[in-house]
Each structure stands twice: as structure tokens, then as C-alpha cells.
Structure 1
């Protein structure tokens, strides 16, 4: 569902040099949220220079109180990671997704969260202190306030703002196909001088974090044979590795 938002009411407080700012409202234990996050990674292969993405935790009101209590550990872990900066916070969130999608591991276990935090390059002493502090709770309550202000009621949802045009923001609720999101980007950026990024296969898989040969070939508009050959070279250079998952054979960045 697509809805307009009043630009003056929901204008982001901070701006970047990129024309679009996206707010991704997600529940880390909601599969659709991760599917949307993965679609946004694909969108980055064409539009990465034109938007900044902000993750906002959102728990649907229909979730029972006992389940909300179970979600608290992972929610607070995400906020504790984000306290160490946008880059490290994003890395932590994406590694959570890797564990869920590739390894099918539970991410509500605190030991697993500590391992992911370490792999993400977080300061572990600071991370564990923040986990036990009230700062993370306040950060999560801030996310809830943003969701209420933007009238977000379901996960996942995307909210778009364009810094160069005093137009209404755009809210897209639920999960849709890649084509739908690409169309929205084209519409919102129709007045921008879009240039092709011309990603290499290595750059593409770094944006995706993991993928198969067919998907990379379609995104870059090249042959699957060319992708396979290049990935094998990158594997010999220890830049990627082949992983067998329930989804089939995937190539993952090291």
C-alpha cells in the first residue's frame, strides 16, 4: 500500500548530500522485513549514490506481551550496535540477516548476538555495557516515536523523502517486487541526472553480501558464464567463498 505523508510533519531532521533518504521500518524476526532489506540491496546496484538508508525497529501492535519480551534482547542488541556509529550498526544488522538467511540460526540467543557483534568489528566491552544500560531502551523508544509520527503500523514499511523537492513523503507498506521499488526510484529521481554505476562483479557482490550467479548476471546484464568465471577468480584470491545453503549454492563475500 502506498500512502503520502505530509512533508512538513515528517521532514527528516538531518540531511545528506544524497537526494533521497529512506526509512526502513523492520522487525528482525519477521521474514518479510529481511526480504525487503535484501531487495534494497539489489536496488543499491543501480541507485546507491542517490539514497541513504536508515533502519528503524518496529514491532507490530498485535504482537502479544510475552512475545514482545522475547524480542527485547535482539532489539536492544541492534540499538547497542548502532550506538557505535551508522556503519558498524548497519554491519551488525546485515550480519544478523546473514545468520538468519544462510545459516538459519536463531538470533535471540545472547551468545550468538555477541559473536555477531565481534564479527561486525564492534567494541565488545562497550557493546556489553550498552546492552545492560538504559540508553538502548531510550534508543528503541525513539524508533517507536518515529514510527508513530510517520503513522507506520506494519513491518516492513519504507518511507521516502526527497531533500531537493518540497513534496510529500511517500510511505510504502508491506513487501513488493523489485520492479515496484525500481519504478518508485525512477519516479522520485526523474529530475536527477542518473548515471550508470558500472559495477564490477566484486563490487556487486559486496553490495549484495551474498548471491548466486544468475542473480548477479541479471543485475549487471552480463552472462552467467562470465559471472561464474570471475567469482572463481575472486575465490582463489580469498575475496569470496562458495556456500551451500537451503536456497542452493550461494557466493558470499569474505
Structure 2
């Protein structure tokens, strides 16, 4: 965590006004720096889901996409993707060759933040659930169809400068905030001109709740967790381990309860070798 300059009294000032927040007004903003193809970033999702369910009324999330440093790929493979649309090719400049999924997410975001988030989750599903290559243009286009965004507009935006510039903005923010490790969360109080609190890597859930309390200046009140069906509806796709983590129950209990929902045709069971996924129907 970074050192943040503030006085204890400035934090406590918030305790006198937090009861008067409007229903849609949220005092905090959390920047989530991630690589959409990074398994560690994907694992952070269980923490964010629980945090959203219990304390989402206090904060808004902003995803910032960057790239976890890995061994370089074949430049030609990354730059030259066969589109299959009018036999054209999608060209990616060499400096962005490793950012193809992030460029696609930014193209989807041009249709709105919610559209971009739906597309981002489909990218993760394709990679971590279906074990598909998200550097493949075919996969990127299938994700666009599944995310329920304007397909033709997405194709145009994917080949536009606007998507590249949007990604450049994310990379610039990553550099300016000196983010060296992914995932990283940065907590900001939108009502106070103070430095944020930066948390690199993953920590126990209680640490994030403690940070919320510190930056708010009062003890936040947790919402009661929803039913499992409501949770599945909220996130659309969720794993057994995530449910176990959120509800603090054993995996076999999760399986038992989710199979009841499967019999109600509320969820679809997707067993994989390493994890069990549940998709809301």
C-alpha cells in the first residue's frame, strides 16, 4: 500500500455526512488494474464479487487494462489476425501486439461501460472456462455476439483508432500511478483531494474491508448477502469456489444448493477439470 497523506480528523469528517448520501451517490472509487488474460487477476474476482455484494453501495469500480509481463510472443502471429470478414485482415501495431484482448474490450466499451464490462466477462469466460485463445479474432467476434452488443459497430470500432487511444489512456494511467504488479487496486475517496491507497497483489478479504473503513473514516455497514439464485443472476457466471468464498460454506454444500437451482432450471452446470462453473439461465 502507498503512503497516503491525510489527517485523522479529515477522515472522521465523513462520519457526519455518510447518512445523507443519495441512493446512487457513492463516496469511493476503486481502480482495478488488471490483465484480462491473467489467472491471478481472474482469481481476484471472488474478492471483488463479495466486496460488491456487501459494500457495493459505498464504491464504484473502474477497470483499467494493462499487461502482465510475459515472454514475448511471435509478432507476426499477434499483428496479423485473419478476420474472415470480407477476407480482410486486422492489423495491430507492434507496440500493442500483446494487447489484442484489451483492445477488443476497449472497442466494446465504446458502446458504453456496461457493454464493455459484459464483453470483458465473456473474454474471461472464453479463456478460463472454455480454454479458447482470446488472441483469435474468431473468439473475439463470438464474444461480441454473446455479450449482446452491436456486432457491426464492434467490428468497425475494433479496427478504429478510438479503441487504441482508449487503451493508451489505460496504459498511461497505469504508468502515472506507478502500478508495477497486476492485479492492483487503488482506493480513492471522491469527496477528498487526498492520495489513494494502492494495494498490489491479493490479500485476505478482511484487509479490503479494513481499507474501506480507513478511507471512509467510519465503519461501513455490510449489506446482507443475497440468495444463491440472486447471486447467480447478478454475476451471470460464477464458480463453486467463488460461491464458497463469498458465503463461507464448504464446496459440497455449494454443489448441493446449486443442484437444487439446476433442477429449477435457474442455472446451468458446467463442470471442468479444474473448476465447476454455474451459468444463470
TM-score normalized with structure 2 length: 0.75
The gaps in structure 2 that reach 5 residues or longer are 7-23, 79-94
Which residue, out of 134, 154, 157, partners 1:127? 154
Q: Which one scores higher on RCO, CA 8 angstroms, separation ≥ 6?
A: 1
Q: SS at 2:141's partner residue? A: helix
Larger radius of gyration: 2
Counterpart of 1:88?
Answer: 115
Counterpart of 1:78?
Answer: 105
Which residue, out of 228, 234, 238, partners 1:210? 238
TM-superposition CA deviations, 1:208-242 (whole Å, max 9, x none) = 53122x75355335787875554334323432111
User: Is residue 67–residue 99 contact of structure 2 (8 Å, CA) maintained in 1?
Assistant: no
User: Is residue 187–residue 198 contact of structure 2 (8 Å, CA) maintained in 1?
Assistant: yes
Counterpart of 1:51?
Answer: 59
Counterpart of 1:32?
Answer: 40
User: Is residue 205–residue 216 contact of structure 1 (8 Å, CA) maintained in 2?
Assistant: no
User: Is residue 60–residue 153 contact of structure 1 (8 Å, CA) maintained in 2?
Assistant: no
CA–CA separation in structure 1 for the residues paired with 2:69 and 2:270: 37
The gaps in structure 1 that reach 5 residues or longer are 8-15
Which residue, out of 230, 245, 249, partners 2:272? 245
Pairs aligned (count): 244
Counterpart of 1:23?
Answer: 31
CA–CA separation in structure 2 for the residues paired with 1:175 and 1:216: 18
**Structure-2 change in CA distance of 1:100 and 1:6 (3 Å):** farther
User: Is residue 20–residue 160 contact of structure 1 (8 Å, CA) maintained in 2?
Assistant: yes
CA–CA separation in structure 2 for the residues paired with 1:57 and 1:151: 14
Measured on the aligned residues, the alpha-carbon RMSD in Å equals 2.9
Segment of structure 1 superposing worse, 223-232 or 244-253: 223-232
Counterpart of 1:110?
Answer: 137
TM-score normalized with structure 1 length: 0.82
Shift of the alpha carbon at 1:173? 1.3
